[in-house]
Amino acid sequence: MPFHVLGIESSCDETSAAILRFEPGGKRELLSDVTARQEEVHLRWGGVVPELASRRHLESLLPVVKAALHQAGLSYQQLSAVAVTNRPGLIGSLMIGVNAARTLAFTLKIPLIPINHLEAHLAAVLLEGAEIQFPCLGLIISGGHTSLYEVQEGWKDFRPLGHTRDDAAGEAFDKGARLLGLPYPGGPQVAKLAAEGNPAAISFPRALPAWNETDFSFSGLKTSLATYLQRPSPAPVADICASYQEAIVDALVAKTVNAAKRGSYRDLVVAGGVAANQRLREKLRAALPAAMRLHIPAPAFCTDNGAMIAALGSVRLEQGEGIEPEGIFAVEVAPATEARAARGKH
């Protein structure tokens, strides 16, 4: 009999629920994926306001779960497990999803599976049936994180290889967009304008500190843009966007290729909102060693979604990881702390 895992995501500003059907060891089939976005709530503030985000999650969550069930043609009673993001993220937002998931699992007497949001971003490639050879290389590039990992068998152990020292890649896009007067979230806006511009128009810095081959740094780039914009006659905005995007993409590609060359990986998985960037996809493919396979989820599964939570949930369920609903809490883990804790293990 197939299993049906409900995945719930509420760590930042997307309320999302999805249902995945799978046979143990067999094919995964996404039956539904429903997301309520909150962009209009945060637009006027230029970034996500945590308290407003949790209030909106509270309103959206149950309708989104019901819509996911409806789209899948299933009833609550047909669910086999609930997987939910419980770290890292905005603590108030995480709590809304976790409490809903606990209540559902408790009421339905089914296992509850706590999911690390970052690990789920990479596991999103399972939705497209990717066959990954472990250990693989993972690059997570979102609004809050920019990290390289070596991922061990079974999506179990994520060994940190490099992190951003300051801003995340998505943050660099968002902050740059803000300086240019473009609305939040800035990544898609910059990317759209960049498509019409000349990436070589302005030479923005590529932060590649010689002392570290796999860490990233983007805050200098943002300052460089702020300084550039003080010029009396800056280049057309499309050229600025294309050049700014190029600097972010080049830094991401260079560090990832360095990490790839240090190990012997067959597969690279790239995920998180910035992985939706077309220019990055092209340049990464061109720069990787020819033998390496590049896996990037479809753009809709790069940004936050419940499907990736259900996908990793299905793996954890196969691994026998379901727990009692009372045993899970929302925990916010600062990326640096998480990385240090993980490093300590190796």
Give the footprint of ligand KG4 on this chain (CB under 6 A). 12, 142-144, 170, 173-174, 185-188, 191, 272-274, 276-277, 303-304
Based on CB atoms, which residue is closest to Zn ion, 142 or 189? 142
Based on CB atoms, which residue is closest to ligand KG4, 191 or 296? 191
Residues with Cβ within 8 Å of residue 227, at least 6 apart in sequence: none
- State the binding string over 275-314 for Zn ion (x if CB under 5 A, else -): -----------------------------x----------
> What residue 160 binds from ligand KG4, Zn ion, none (CB within 5 to 8 A, per partner kind)?
none
- State the binding string over 107-146 for Zn ion (x if CB under 5 A, else -): -----------------------------------x----
Strand partners, 137: 150, 268
Contact 6, 75 (CB under 8 A): no
Pairing mode of beta strands 14-22, 158-163:
unpaired
Based on CB atoms, which residue is closest to ligand KG4, 150 or 171? 171
> What residue 176 binds from ligand KG4, Zn ion, none (CB within 5 to 8 A, per partner kind)?
none
- State the binding string over 29-58 for Zn ion (x if CB under 5 A, else -): ------------------------------
Residue type, 303: T
Among 98, 86, 91, 103, smallest CA distance to 48 is for 91
Based on CB atoms, which residue is closest to ligand KG4, 244 or 265? 244
Q: Which long-range contacts (C-beta less than 8 Å, at least 24 apart) are formed by 33-38?
A: 33/68, 33/71, 33/300, 33/305, 33/306, 33/307, 34/64, 34/67, 34/68, 34/71, 34/306, 35/64, 35/304, 35/305, 35/306, 36/60, 36/63, 36/64, 37/13, 38/13, 38/14
User: How does DSSP assign 122-151, residue by residue?
Assistant: HHGGGGGT---PSSEEEEEE-SS-EEEEEE
Q: How far is the CB of 276 from ligand KG4 (least distance, A)?
A: 4
Q: How far is the CB of 192 from ligand KG4 (least distance, A)?
A: 8
Q: How far is the CB of 114 from ligand KG4 (least distance, A)?
A: 17
Report if residue 167 touches Zn ion, rule: CB under 5 A.
Answer: no
> What residue 174 binds from ligand KG4, Zn ion, none (CB within 5 to 8 A, per partner kind)?
ligand KG4
Helix then strand count (H, E) for the chain reads: 12, 10
148 vs 296: CA distance, rounded Å:
14
Based on CB atoms, which residue is closest to Zn ion, 111 or 144? 144
H or E stretch covering 250: helix 237-262
Based on CB atoms, which residue is closest to ligand KG4, 36 or 79? 36
Based on CB atoms, which residue is closest to Zn ion, 140 or 180? 140
Q: How far is the CB of 261 from ligand KG4 (least distance, A)?
A: 25
- SS3 call for 266: coil
> What residue 301 binds from Zn ion, ligand KG4, none (CB within 5 to 8 A, per partner kind)?
none
CB atoms within 10 A of CB 120: 28
Based on CB atoms, which residue is closest to ligand KG4, 42 or 102? 42
Among 79, 332, 19, smallest CA distance to 8 is for 19
> What residue 276 binds from Zn ion, ligand KG4, none (CB within 5 to 8 A, per partner kind)?
ligand KG4
Q: How far is the CB of 50 from ligand KG4 (least distance, A)?
A: 13
Based on CB atoms, which residue is closest to ligand KG4, 3 or 173? 173
Neighbour-count burial for 215-225, b at 16+ CB within 10 Å, e otherwise: bbbbebbbebb
Report if residue 189 touches Zn ion, rule: CB under 5 A.
Answer: no
Contact 171, 274 (CB under 8 A): no
72 vs 20: CA distance, rounded Å:
9
For binding to Zn ion (CB under 5 A), which residues are involved? 142, 304
